[in-house]
Amino acid sequence: MRNFILFIRRFFNLILFLVLEIICIVLIARTNTMQGNDIMSSANTAIGLLYQKQSDVKYYFGLKRMNDSLLNENARLRLMLSQKTETYDTLADSSVRVAIPSRDTNVKVVQYADYTYHTAKVINNSISAANNYITINRGTDDGITKNMAVISGSGIVGRVEHVSKHFASVLSVLSVKQKVSAKLKDGTTGYIEWDGEKADVLVLKDVPQQIKVKKGDSVFTTSYSFFPQNILIGRIFKVAYLKKNNLQLLYLRPSNNFRNMQYVYVVENKMMPERMQLEDSIKAK
Amino acid sequence: MSIYLRNFLRFCLIVALQVLVLDEISLRWWTAPAGFPVFVPLIYPLFILLLPFETPVWLLLALGFVLGLTVDSFMNTAGVHACATVLIAYLRTNVLHALLPKHLSEYPNQSPGVKNMGWVPFLVYSSFLILLHHIVYFTIEIWSVGNIGYLLLKILASAATSILFVIAYLLLFTRQVSARN
């Protein structure tokens, strides 16, 4: 026993060093398995508040840019509205049966929709890490839960990973541990990945060579993933052929500019819990 | 100002500089990066480097761990910064022993700095530990040797920039302290 205590006293520093390093490695390993731990993220309240203050300062410098992006988005929405007014009741054909509560009780019209959009302001953003996170100023109080999709006016952004009462941190598409299901305009599906290097290059893998792809073709989200269908991901700027397995790699520029996001939409899919339950029940068998 | 208070304030200042200012500027060495990595300079290891000479190793380790975890929570990288910081906190005493002519206990109530070490030994001391910190940090973060050129480029570019920022920090803040003493 005495020898043991002497041993500990002699190598106390080394033992403490090893213990701390092991704690670090356990923490790293836990976050890499997607579940993560909510305490150690920028979504916790203290850090969220600090980032909120910082964002308030930066807000004024970005007003011009934000105005431009809002104008562009308004223009796009007006265009969509003008196309939709002809065929107004297409939403009723949706297979989904969740009614949107109407504010006006005199009108007995029931509308159906899959998705609810919550606006959120980006209060912290990074593009230089291997897994980039975005902190937004909406949390459980605003109805945000884990695994909701996040999009911006121009394209996809990411997936909610940690939520606190007033903040949430979003794992961006610019992350080496997250793949997003994507399709070309003819319906060929594949996965979008990020190679971890440049913020304006995404890769669409596993497209057979017989599919003819041109530069400038658009790539959209599919209904397989947590994102809503048919949201623009980006445009192809380079096509590379792989001789060894007859597949081609498509490099695309994301349509969303990750460097200067100001506002995003968190998409709540009302049918998602039911769908997840069904898919999990199949996996459990 | 007491040495505890001064180091506590320095902790707050350096963490605030790191997460509120430096993390916002994603640097590139030239404007059109053809495969050149985007990176963020990390100056927070400077807090560990500037602790007094007589700080015991266990306290260095504990402070390194707390500092690393604080930065980790801001950057959403649970444990990666802490891992690298604990390593340099452990090696700090050995590096100082190797570089200084006298034993560490002969510098009572002093912190490593340009004043009492001289520019060259201090720069060797800080660049060595910062480079080590960056190697560990980026290796864990990128975690692939497939693209080793990219990894090395990222480590060297950000270590060089971090050291520049460390020198800027020293030029800005040392004279102020010496004027007060």
Is 90 exceeded by the pLDDT of residue B62? Answer: yes
Of the given ranges (A54-63, A86-95, A173-182, B60-69), which has the lowest mean pLDDT?
A86-95
Q: How many domains is chain A built from?
A: 3
Most confident of the following: A222-226, B121-125, B174-178: B121-125
Same domain for A236 and A201: yes
Strands (E), chain B: none
Same domain for A81 and A133: yes
Residue of B nearest to A177 (CA): B142
pLDDT at B66: 92
Q: How confident is the model at residue A35 (pLDDT cuts 50, 70, 90)?
A: very low
Q: Which domain holds residue A170?
A: 45-175+263-269
Residue of A nearest to B140 (CA): A28
pLDDT at B128: 93
Residue A279: inside a domain:
no
pLDDT tens digit sequence for B68-114? 988 888 887 778 899 999 999 999 988 988 888 877 777 777 788 88
pLDDT at B179: 45
Same domain for A161 and A73: yes
By Cβ distance, the residue of A17, A23, A130 closest to B142 is: A130
DSSP state of B27: B
Does pTM top 0.80 for this prediction?
A: no
Residue A284: inside a domain:
no
Residue A116: inside a domain:
yes
Is 60 exceeded by the pLDDT of residue B32? Answer: no
Cβ pair B79:A13 closer than 8 A: no
Same domain for A197 and A128: no
Is 70 exceeded by the pLDDT of residue A218? Answer: yes
pLDDT tens digit sequence for A201-210? 899 887 888 8
Chain A positions touching B80 (Cβ under 8 A) are: 24, 28
Same domain for A87 and A17: no
Helix axes B80-99, B57-75, angle to 10 degrees: 140
Same domain for A105 and A79: yes
Residue A278: inside a domain:
no
Q: Supply the CATH number for residue A255's domain.
A: 2.40.10.350
Residue A101: inside a domain:
yes
Min Cα distance A232 → chain B (Å) is 25
Residue A53: inside a domain:
yes
Cβ pair B78:A197 closer than 8 A: no
Cβ pair B24:A58 closer than 8 A: yes
Contact status of A277 with chain B (Cβ, < 8 Å): no
Same domain for A89 and A9: no
Cβ pair B80:A28 closer than 8 A: yes
Q: Supply the CATH number for residue A117's domain.
A: 2.40.10.340
Burial of A23 (0-12, 13-18, 19+ CB in 10 A): middle
Is 90 exceeded by the pLDDT of residue A29? Answer: no
Cβ pair A130:B141 closer than 8 A: yes
A203: β partners = A193, A251
Distances (CA, A) of B9 to B1, B14, B15: 11, 9, 10
Of the given ranges (A132-141, A152-161, A268-277, B164-173), which has the lowest mean pLDDT?
A268-277
Same domain for A170 and A190: no
Residue A157: inside a domain:
yes
DSSP state of B36: P
Provide the mean pLDDT of chain A. Answer: 79
pLDDT tens digit sequence for B132-155? 999 999 888 877 666 788 888 888
Is 70 exceeded by the pLDDT of residue A189? Answer: yes
Same domain for A89 and A155: yes
